[in-house]
Amino acid sequence: MIINHEEQRVYVRQSWLGDMMICMERGRLADIKPEFRTGSDATIMGTAVHHGIEQVLTNQISAVDIADAAVFRLGQLMTEEKWKHTNVEPDDMVPYVALMARAWAQDIAPKVPTGGRVEQKFAAPMNRMVQVDVDKAYELWFAGTMDYVAPDGTLWDWKTAARKYSQSEKQKQSIQASVYAYAAVALGYTNWDVTFNFGVLTRNSKSSGSIVPVNRTKAHGDWVAEQATTTVTSALRMGHAIAWPKNDQHNLCSDKWCPWWSICKGSYVSDVEQQWSQEAQ
Ligand code: SF4
């Protein structure tokens, strides 16, 4: 959440809204301690594959060269960025990136209409106000970057993931699809109803690409704007100076997957104590 006093606007990204839904303290720490946010092996692999896809979609390289472009970018990220090991074997990083890039070219690219907007940054008004202070109400806006907006208005997002996506889960719960659909309609890229395609590449030795479509109607857009308004209003009321509710009842609350672990649950409970131990009986 970014409060811009000059523009009198509050900007919300879908990732922040997602964080707030699982653990509000994660959302607060993302705002006040962004320097803790480091990449992981999985995230830099995803960034490298995105780079290859972007190069193909902008006609800078041909699809046959996508694996080389992605692996080259991975090498740069491994040396330039701060990132941590999670559950990917270090020796698998390069081959998996090459496999995912090729899987995109083979399984997904033939179904992507060419000539669209690549890595489209956006900021879109929700036509809602939030109270940032007793006498100050600011406009609420969504912000972010869409991976690809096809000429027919279909939205695409590339995902690298350990396993395939569940379409029913994404249709019910994807905040990203709702936020991007809302913004795409608000900015005139498309009209309701919107199709949002996840292009999913599995991160393993048999990587394949699958397209998982979800649909978004105006009702989904209104709902996500309501979620954003109520979440931002609660956050503004609490203020960043005090800690927000700390929810550990989900899999991202761990040393590997929460960047703020060391200053939050990790300052009470070690990663070892997270595991069951016979000796502790
Ligand atoms: S360590 Fe757990 S409780 Fe703390 S911010 Fe991260 S996810 Fe939330």
- 199-208: pLDDT as tens digits: 999 999 999 9
> Best substitution site from 21, 240, 261, 269 to test ligand 1's pocket, by max atoms within 8 Å of Cβ?
261
- Residue 27: phi and psi, rounded to 5, are -65, -40
How much distance in Å is there from the Cα of 159 to the middle of ligand 1?
24
Query: Per residue, what are the HEC states of 53-84?
Result: HHHHHCCCCCHHHHHHHHHHHHHHHHHHCCEE
Tell the residue nearest (CA) to atom 5 of ligand 1. Answer: 26
Position 281 scores a pLDDT of 60
Tell the residue nearest (CA) to atom 2 of ligand 1. Answer: 253
How much distance in Å is there from the Cα of 246 to the middle of ligand 1?
6
CA 277, chain centre distance (Å): 35
Position 280 scores a pLDDT of 63
Dist CA 158 CA 193 (whole Å): 21
- Beta-carbon contacts of 249 under 8 Å, excluding residues fewer than 6 positions away, are none
Position 273 scores a pLDDT of 85
pLDDT beneath 70, residues of the chain: 280-281
Dist CA 55 CA 47 (whole Å): 12
Position 114 scores a pLDDT of 94
